[in-house]
């Protein structure tokens, strides 16, 4: 039982660290950072999706921009215990899976607001 291709990518994960990964290609102040020629984007994805499905979904979603995926790294974040509105009853957060997608050198994804 696989995941439908239109349900794999949920959203772009925008944090300070993910913005830094996108900006590494433009960083020239540090010699080790200047060697980074590829851009990395962080997406929240379906927890059951594998790397091949994520690669295919990103290339299909941004096919108009002709971006090619070189590599996909995934991180599965476990559920966390949470208190529910001050009650003794405990709930859990949802399980998240993040995918760090590395694009080919020179490729970028343009997000429209």
State the sign of the Cα–Cα–Cα–Cα dihedral 8, 13, 17, 19. positive
Whether residue 108 is contained in a domain is answered as no
The tokens describing 32, both together, are: 């080790």
Structural domain tally of the chain? 1
| Residue 111 clears pLDDT 80, i.e. is over it | no
**How remote is the C-alpha of 34 from its chain's centroid?**
22
**How remote is the C-alpha of 78 from its chain's centroid?**
16
Residue numbers of the domain that contains 55:
5-103
User: How do residues 9-22 score in pLDDT, each as one tens digit?
Assistant: 998 888 888 887 77
Task: Supply the CATH number for residue 55's domain.
Answer: 3.30.70.330
Query: Cβ atoms within 10 A of the Cβ of 103, count?
Result: 22
Quote the pTM value. 0.79
Whether residue 63 is contained in a domain is answered as yes
Whether residue 110 is contained in a domain is answered as no
pLDDT at 70: 93
User: How do residues 23-80 score in pLDDT, each as one tens digit?
Assistant: 777 766 766 666 677 888 999 999 999 999 999 999 998 888 888 999 999 999 998 8
Whether residue 37 is contained in a domain is answered as yes
Residue with tokens 């899976």: 97
């Amino acid at each position: 039982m696989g995941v439908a291709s239109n349900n794999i990518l949920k959203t772009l994960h925008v944090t300070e660290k993910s913005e830094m990964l996108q900006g590494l290609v433009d960083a020239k102040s540090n010699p080790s950072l200047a060697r980074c020629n590829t851009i990395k984007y962080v997406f929240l994805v379906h927890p059951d999706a594998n790397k091949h499905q994520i690669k295919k979904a990103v290339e299909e979603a941004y096919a108009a921009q002709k971006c090619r995926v070189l590599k996909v790294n995934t991180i599965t974040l476990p559920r966390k215990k949470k208190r529910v509105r001050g009650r003794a009853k405990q709930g859990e957060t949802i399980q998240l899976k993040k995918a760090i997608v590395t694009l080919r050198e020179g490729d970028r994804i343009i997000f429209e607001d």
